[in-house]
């Protein structure tokens, strides 16, 4: 921080340069590190051929920064820092950790990657259909290059954006990514930074966006040396996973700059199309300009340079649209946020579970409210919390909210990591898919859901420190010790737990999995070609009644104006395990476009089934005819 004088008033300038091994023209490198707690910093440059190292005292700059510039530095040059002649430590802003979290960092010239994406325009928020995947378990190989081989299949199904669970370097080679300790370095076992660049470049060339899950609320318990360098953490707050990042305490200017530059790093050097911010309710900042606002502004700045949209999406359980509100209204201006209420409402109804936060859910009327008003808890009393929770979504359209019926948390935080493919019958899985993809929000599909994957997705890790590894295993058992399923909890450190999560990527002809995948394909085709399904404001849902008695049938109506003519799509959802007769006045005067219980999808509807009856967990889509391949598919009438 520096001072200058303007009209006899002292004005503070916050000039926090980026850190790391910053590559420059002519093979030169500028090493910069923020270490305000050190009196001196030594740059260590190992020389692998003879095993010796050069040690170079770094020059002190203002505000605790140290710097050294050297020319003719080879790509891949290992390096480390010593603080006051202490042990060697990797760079807090390392761009590459070729030998894991504890070993020296390495120089990499990210700008040398030969991008071939052409004039990639990006994907508008309203067009997002997000597919969340874990790189290590999406394929048998568990690498970025192996993901590339499956991108075309996702695009053909109707996915428009792939969301990668965190890829920052974490301990070992098995983990969810939320225990990462190197925010800038890409996990080597996945293929490192070049592998990620290849994946994104290929995705753009075939028309897919890539969103990256990033963690700015905590760091993992092993291999985080940041506290030795400076006040990166604060004791003012605690997260469920450890010390909170210091965004508003003494020394926080450089910490904020560290995170903001990380945002720019992903967009500038890797061309990501969006960032999913993990658990923003655990990001604590009382500053006048909240760090979330600065993250969005940094992403917007880099997006303007690239000439394409970059989406900043928050994961939050607060049901608070200040995340989305314009900054002049006191908000943070983020692009979108998750809405867990939709997931909880669907899950509780279809599974019958009422433990933990599902205690608050299980009523069909709540699902109707989620379709109409986004948040079920919008200032209403939550029995699970013992208090009122949330606030209304207000005028924000559905394109500002991401919903799911499964995601890594909701599966992996179960005792056995079991999925809908194990919990629900095929008809229930189909109606869940219809609710997700026909609702007026941005859908997120967790990998494998599109064909009813039956392999679990449990929590897994590969901590190297024996004590931390033991704590992870015992902690997981303690978490479910009082539950109905303590014996089902797999050891997160076991290789078998990780292997069990790898997708089967299989939907044999004639199987329920094949039928479900066809349904996903057709529903996503409907979203693309039906104007009302691309309109996020004009919709209404209600629960049908007969003789004053509520039925477990939801009527969702979505409409849009086309050249002055109102176009409608109406969906009838049977949210029960019994047949439901639909009163004639409630049947839409439109053609039947799709029945989830068609034999084409593996359903039970036959030519003898009455047209005015919904089979158990059946949904039907009605709308004007459209000359597309879908209109004549075996799943449509």
- Enumerate the active-site residues: 278, 315
Q: Which of 521, 470, 499 is nearest to 628 (CA)?
A: 521
459: phi then psi, degrees, rounded to nearest 5: -70, 135
Strand order in the sheet with 59-60: 20-24, 28-34, 65-70, 59-60
Q: Which of 400, 396, 402, 275 is nearest to 338 (CA)?
A: 402
| 445, 130 Cβ separation under 8 angstroms | yes
CA–chain centroid gap for 530, Å, is 27
Residue 6 and residue 573: Cα distance in Å, rounded?
A: 66
Residue 219 and residue 226: Cα distance in Å, rounded?
A: 9
| 209, 156 Cβ separation under 8 angstroms | no
| 29, 91 Cβ separation under 8 angstroms | no
> 2 Cβ partners below 8 Å, 6+ apart?
12, 13, 15, 62
| Cα torsion 448, 450, 453, 458: sign | positive
| 445, 531 Cβ separation under 8 angstroms | no
Helix (H, G, I), strand (E, B) or coil at 10: strand
What tokens appear for 59 in the block?
Answer: 């020059």
* DSSP states of 208-242: -EEEEEE--S---SSS--HHHHS--EEEEEEETTE
Residue 375 and residue 391: Cα distance in Å, rounded?
A: 8
| Cα torsion 629, 634, 636, 637: sign | positive
Q: Which of 68, 78, 75 is nearest to 103 (CA)?
A: 78
Q: What is the DSSP letter of 583?
A: P
| 48, 79 Cβ separation under 8 angstroms | no
């Amino acid at each position: 921080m520096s001072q200058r004088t303007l009209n006899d008033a002292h004005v503070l300038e916050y000039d926090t340069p980026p850190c790391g091994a910053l590559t420059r023209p002519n093979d030169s490198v500028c090493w910069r590190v923020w270490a305000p707690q050190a009196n001196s910093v030594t740059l260590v440059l190992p020389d692998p051929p003879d095993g010796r190292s050069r040690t170079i005292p770094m020059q002190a700059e203002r505000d605790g920064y140290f710097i050294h510039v050297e020319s003719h530095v080879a790509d891949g040059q290992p390096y480390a820092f010593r603080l006051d002649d202490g042990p060697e430590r990797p760079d807090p802003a390392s761009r590459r950790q070729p030998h894991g979290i504890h070993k020296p960092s390495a120089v990499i010239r990210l700008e040398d990657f030969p991008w071939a994406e052409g004039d990639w325009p990006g994907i508008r928020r309203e067009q997002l259909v997000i597919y969340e995947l874990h790189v290590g378990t999406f394929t048998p190989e568990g690498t970025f290059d192996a993901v590339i081989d499956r991108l075309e299949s996702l695009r053909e199904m109707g996915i428009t954006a792939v969301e990668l669970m965190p890829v920052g370097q974490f301990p070992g080679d098995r983990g969810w990514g939320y225990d990462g300790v190197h925010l800038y370095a890409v996990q080597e076992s996945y293929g490192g930074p070049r592998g990620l660049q290849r994946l994104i470049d290929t995705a753009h060339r075939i028309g897919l966006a890539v969103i990256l899950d990033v963690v700015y609320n905590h760091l993992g318990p092993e291999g985080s040396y940041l506290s030795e360098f400076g006040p990166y953490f604060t004791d003012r707050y605690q997260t469920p996973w450890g010390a909170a990042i210091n965004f508003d305490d003494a020394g926080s200017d450089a910490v904020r700059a560290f995170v903001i530059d990380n945002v720019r790093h992903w967009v500038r050097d890797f061309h990501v199309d969006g960032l999913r911010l993990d658990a923003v309710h655990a990001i604590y900042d009382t500053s006048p300009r909240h760090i979330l606002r600065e993250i969005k502004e940094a992403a917007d700045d880099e997006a303007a340079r690239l000439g394409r949209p970059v989406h900043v999406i928050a994961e939050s359980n607060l049901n608070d649209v200040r995340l989305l509100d314009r900054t002049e209204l006191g908000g943070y201006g983020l692009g979108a946020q998750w809405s867990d209420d939709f997931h909880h409402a669907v899950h509780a109804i279809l599974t019958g579970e009422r433990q933990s936060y599902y205690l608050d859910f299980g009523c069909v009327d709540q699902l109707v409210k989620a379709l109409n008003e986004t948040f079920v808890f919008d200032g209403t009393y939550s029995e699970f919390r013992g208090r009122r929770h949330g606030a209304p979504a207000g005028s924000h359209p559905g394109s500002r909210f991401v919903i799911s019926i499964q995601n890594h948390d909701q599966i992996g935080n179960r005792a056995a990591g079991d999925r809908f493919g194990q919990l629900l019958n095929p008809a229930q899985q189909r109606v869940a898919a219809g609710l997700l993809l026909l609702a007026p929000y941005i859908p997120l599909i967790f990998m494998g859901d599109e064909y009813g994957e039956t392999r679990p997705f449990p929590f897994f890790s590969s901590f190297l420190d024996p004590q931390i590894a033991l704590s992870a295993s015992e902690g997981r058992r303690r978490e479910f010790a009082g539950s109905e399923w303590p014996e089902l909890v797999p050891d997160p450190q076991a290789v078998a737990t990780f292997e069990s999560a790898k997708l089967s990527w299989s939907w044999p002809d004639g199987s329920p999995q094949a039928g479900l995948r066809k349904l996903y394909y057709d529903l996503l085709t409907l979203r693309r070609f039906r104007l009302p399904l691309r309109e996020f404001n004009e919709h209404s849902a209600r629960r049908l009644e007969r003789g004053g008695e509520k039925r477990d049938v939801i009527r969702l109506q979505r409409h849009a104006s086309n050249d002055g003519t109102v176009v409608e799509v109406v969906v009838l959802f049977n949210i029960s395990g019994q047949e439901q007769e639909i009163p004639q006045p409630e049947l839409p005067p439109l053609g039947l476009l799709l029945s989830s219980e068609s034999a084409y999808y593996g359903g039970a509807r036959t030519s003898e089934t009455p047209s005015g009856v919904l089979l158990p967990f059946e949904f039907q889509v009605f709308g004007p005819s459209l000359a597309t391949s879908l209109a004549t598919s075996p799943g449509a009438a």
